[in-house]
């Protein structure tokens, strides 16, 4: 089925829901979902759960996006201690996190249906959070319409959405090696380290924290840019100032799921 027909299917799915809640992160998928809901003429509320795993920069961009799209938008805020077992960072961290976050969304939504932005590509990956969504009966209209990420980006471009080429995002917790407890200090350190790369023009990157060893990943086509002695020295000095004991560079470049290499299944971000 062509992407245009899938888009029409998506709008029909949304029209059948009647006054629903969209879990809105401001990423490529949830923004496209909200725009499709507007295009379909539906009645919905975009709800954002603000919690410590989300970079502050993303929250700021989200707030600007809400104004640009004229969304009916609400926010809920959770503290680190509210996230329960997710803070212990087991391989099922995403399950516990989604269970908590969408549990809060369900309290907000009441009897209304809740939808979120998982797409057809997400079924190929190791995503324990999908189990939580199924248990809580959360709908995934992009998945139901069989829309894949590439199609979502193409359709977002046609709709004039500023997120059409936004790099893949994931929460800061995915940077911390499984089994190492998540703290506000670690999250702040990773966020500052990634801002260093962003400010120097890198588009796709991660800073992974392996028990206080920083592993820098940049896009495969950006590796040559990083191979600059002044930049390397500046990164080493700044990351150590942040508190990392060692600073390393992943020669293979950025790839989703590099924290999941030893886990059976697909990938996380």
pLDDT tens across 3-53, in order? 999 999 999 999 999 899 999 999 999 999 999 999 999 999 999 999 999
Instruction: For the chain, give every domain's residue range.
Output: 3-158, 172-260
Query: Which pTM was predicted?
Result: 0.88
CATH topology of domain 172-260: Alpha-Beta Plaits (3.30.70)
pLDDT digit string, tens, across residues 120-141 = 998 766 678 889 999 999 999 9
* CA-based nearest residue to 29, from 177, 150, 203: 150
Helices 149-158 and 3-15, axial angle in degrees (round to 10):
80
Question: Where would I find the beta strands (DSSP E) of 158-201?
Answer: none
Residue labelled with tokens 């809740």: 114
Do the domains 172-260 and 3-158 match in fold?
no
CB atoms within 10 A of CB 15: 12
| Tens-place pLDDT, residues 203-237 | 999 999 999 999 999 999 999 999 999 999 999 99
In this structure, CATH architecture of domain 3-158: 3-Layer(aba) Sandwich (3.40)
Structure tokens that stand for 228 in this block: 């600059």
Q: Which has the closest alpha carbon to 210: 180, 249, 255?
A: 180
């Amino acid at each position: 089925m062509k992407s245009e027909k899938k888009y029409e299917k998506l709008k029909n799915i949304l029209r059948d829901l009647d006054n629903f809640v969209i879990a809105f992160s401001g990423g490529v998928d949830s923004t496209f979902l909200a725009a499709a809901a507007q295009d379909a003429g539906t009645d919905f509320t975009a709800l954002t759960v603000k919690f410590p795993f989300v970079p502050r920069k993303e929250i700021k961009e989200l707030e600007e996006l809400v104004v640009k799209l004229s969304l009916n938008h609400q926010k809920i805020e959770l503290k680190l201690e509210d996230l329960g077992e997710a803070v212990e960072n087991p391989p099922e961290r995403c399950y516990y996190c989604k269970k908590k976050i969408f549990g809060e969304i369900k309290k907000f939504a009441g009897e209304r249906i809740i939808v979120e932005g998982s797409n057809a590509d997400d079924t190929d990956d190791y995503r324990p959070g999908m189990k939580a969504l199924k248990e809580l009966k959360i709908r995934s209209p992009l998945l139901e319409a069989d829309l894949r990420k590439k199609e979502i980006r193409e359709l977002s471009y046609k709709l004039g959405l500023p997120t059409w080429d936004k790099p893949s995002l994931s929460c800061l917790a995915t940077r911390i090696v499984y089994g190492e407890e998540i703290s506000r200090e670690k999250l702040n350190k990773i966020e500052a380290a990634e801002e260093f790369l962003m400010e120097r023009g890198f588009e796709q990157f991660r800073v992974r924290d392996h028990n206080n060893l920083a592993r820098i990943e940049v896009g495969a086509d950006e590796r040559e840019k990083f191979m600059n002695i002044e930049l390397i020295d500046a990164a080493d000095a700044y990351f150590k100032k942040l508190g990392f004991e060692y600073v390393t560079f992943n020669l293979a470049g950025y790839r989703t799921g590099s924290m999941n290499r030893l886990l059976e299944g697909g990938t996380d971000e």
